[in-house]
Amino acid sequence: MTTQHTLEISAPEGDDELRAFRAIGDYAFNENPSPAPDIARLQRQGIENLRVARVGGVVAAGLGMLPMGQWFGGTSVPMVGINAVSTAPEHRSTGIMSRMLRQMLEEIHADGSPLSALYPTTQPVYRRAGYEQAGIALDYKHPLHALSTGDRGLQVRRAGDEDTNTIQALYAERARRTTGNLDRSEFMWARVLEPREAPLNKYLVERDGTSEGYVIYTQRQPPGTKEKDINCYDLVALTADAARRLVAFFADHRSTAEHLVWTGAPAEPLLLHVPNQAYKIDWYEQWMLRIVDVPAALAARGYPTGVEAELHLEVRDDVLAPNNGRWVLAVSDGRAEVREGGTGSIALDVRGLAPMYTGYLSPLELRAGGYVQGPEADLALAGTVFAGPTPWMADGF
């Protein structure tokens, strides 16, 4: 273990530390190392959102924070995404990252963000910090020749920079209807709208001048193949007509491309408008959530309208002491109030609260997994309170 007096954690100091952080990340994520690592991406994220750990004054590990929001129950809840988590190989299995995560969570709690999310490359270190699987991200891959070509009732037009506000409004409405989609920050929107591969294509689907959907994509030839794929960075259809029109739009590429690839929901509405189950899952990953501030997180999200209920929780958190104790969650007309006290009839670790909060696993399923304890009737009521669409994200980070 790295002894406490040799470890210092703070924001990077100067470009040399940024380059050291980037080089560690390139090694960790199997990216081609460079004698002069490009630090522009880290600089865009903001030095204030980066942390490095130094051992003996030398950068040994780092991580990034992405302040944004996440949609639950029709409400955007402040959330800090975690990215670029990496440790130099000679410092792995020394406890450095566990200490970085603990300090980071204390910072996030103090700053007032009740949630944190990440995509794990390995789960044990994040579970020790209180994260747990809480939702899905997946890509569908569908052959273009198997798509329907007939529905052309709506107009499709190329979008320009002047349409950015329209695109963002369409996405926000789709995100509001989901569980787990991001409330994208400016940094996250730049990842969608600014070309990473040229050319980036943007199209809107309109009815009499009113937009009902859009797609942002590139055409890319996968290594070792002769045909191109349409790779969607973002795809939104708010109506069935818009979905059918987008399917026809993609089908019109069947003579020049092989597949359509897009990130969608686990129960994907676009698949209602394709003739057969010709798709395959091209990428599947579970993201993890951390309830950083239990009462604030419970009070911030939305809940099903028409549900009047009171849950008595007893939460255990080995990392963030303020979360420990009994909490009463009173839900009415889609909103909630949280107060200390109650009977604590539903007992759970903060890790178990994460998938219950998102609806990824029901309280009864979590009891079967050993994460939650409580009477069947109370757990069934909790399942109603946290019910919603299967949680998913359209973004990686």
Specify the CATH number for the domain of residue 78: 3.40.630.30
Tell me, rounded to whole angstroms, the distance of Cα 342 from its chain centroid: 32
Q: Letter for the amino acid at 14?
A: G
The verdict on residue 216 lying in a domain is yes
Domain of 343 in residue numbering reads as 293-385
| Residue after which a domain boundary falls, among 113, 130, 147 | 130
In angstroms, the CA 394 to CA 24 distance is 27
The verdict on residue 395 lying in a domain is no
The verdict on residue 394 lying in a domain is no
Interacting residues of 135 by C-beta distance below 8 A, sequence separation 6+:
179, 180, 286, 287, 289, 358, 360, 390, 391, 392, 393
Instruction: Identify the pLDDT of residue 3.
Output: 47
Contact by Cβ (8 Å): 167, 210: no
With helix as H, strand as E and coil as C, how does 291-353 read?
A: ECCHHHHHHHCCCCCCCCEEEEEEEECCCCHHHCEEEEEEEECCEEEEEECCCCCEEEEHHHH
As for how many domains the chain has, the answer is 3
In angstroms, the CA 200 to CA 219 distance is 8
- Give the global pTM: 0.94
Same domain as 105, residue 211: no
Same domain as 216, residue 156: yes
Q: Which residue has the tokens 């990340």?
A: 25
The verdict on residue 372 lying in a domain is yes
50: burial class by Cβ within 10 Å (0-12, 13-18, 19+)? buried
The verdict on residue 316 lying in a domain is yes
Same domain as 224, residue 183: yes
CA dihedral sign, ordered 47, 53, 59, 61: negative
Torsions phi, psi for 338 (to 5 deg): -125, 135
Instruction: Identify the pLDDT of residue 118.
Output: 99
Tell me the two tokens of residue 6.
């040799």
Tell me the two tokens of residue 59.
């950068």
Torsion of Cα atoms, 270 then 271 then 272 then 276, to 10°? 150
Same domain as 195, residue 83: no
Q: Is-cis flag, bond preceding 143, omega within 30?
A: no
Same domain as 153, residue 275: yes
Cβ atoms within 10 Å, residue 142: 23
Instruction: Identify the pLDDT of residue 292.
Output: 99
In angstroms, the CA 348 to CA 365 distance is 13
Q: List Cα–Cα distances, 58 to 19, 94, 97, 103, in angstroms.
A: 12, 15, 15, 19
Alpha helix ranges (H) inside 228-276: 240-251
Tell me the two tokens of residue 206.
């309109």
Q: The CATH number of the domain where 380 resides is what? A: 3.30.1050.10
In angstroms, the CA 226 to CA 245 distance is 27
The verdict on residue 71 lying in a domain is yes
Instruction: Identify the pLDDT of residue 45.
Output: 96
Q: Which residue has the tokens 């273009």?
A: 144
- What proportions of the chain, in percent to the nearest 5, are helix, strand and coil? 35, 35, 35
Which 3 state secondary structure label does DSSP give 260? strand
| Residue after which a domain boundary falls, among 78, 98, 130 | 130
- Residues in the chain with pLDDT values less than 70: 1-5, 32-36
Sheet-wide strand order for 325-332: 335-340, 325-332, 309-316, 346-349, 372-373
